[in-house]
Amino acid sequence: MDIEPAVSDVLRRVALAVNQTLILSTPVDTGRARANWQVSIGTEVDAELDSTDVQGAITRNQGVIKGYRNGEIIVQNNVSYIGALNNGSSAQAPAGFVEKAIQTGVRAATRSKVLR
C-alpha cells in the first residue's frame, strides 16, 4: 500500500481548514493582516503583501494547497503586529486564534476517511 498519497491528502485537508479559519478569525481594521496570510511549499516567504483582499488571500492560498504534492506546507503572516493580534490586542478576536485555527485543522484531519 502506498501511503504517500493518503498522507498528502490529510495534509491538504489540514492546511485548507487552517487557512480559511486563520483568515476569517483574524481581527480586521484595514484588512491587511487578514490578507497577509500566505501559504508556500517548502520555503518561507519573507514579503508582506500590499493587499486588503481577504477573499483573494483565501483563493490564492487554496490554489497553493491544492497543488501540494510533497514537502512541508508553510502558513505564515508577515505583518509586524500579527503576534500582538494573536495575543489578544484586538477586542474582535480572543487571544490564541492562531492556535484555535490549528486545532480546527487537526479536527478536519480526524474526520478524513483516510484516518478511519
- Per-residue pLDDT tens for 79-103? 999 999 999 999 998 899 999 999 9
Q: What pTM was estimated for this model as a whole?
A: 0.88
Give the whole-number percent of the chain exceeding pLDDT 90. 73
What does the pLDDT average to over 28-56?
Answer: 94
Spans of all domains in the chain: 4-110
Encode 46-66: b = buried (16+ Cβ within 10 Å), e = exposed.
eeebeebebeebbebbbebbe
Beta-carbon contacts of 59 under 8 Å, excluding residues fewer than 6 positions away, are: none
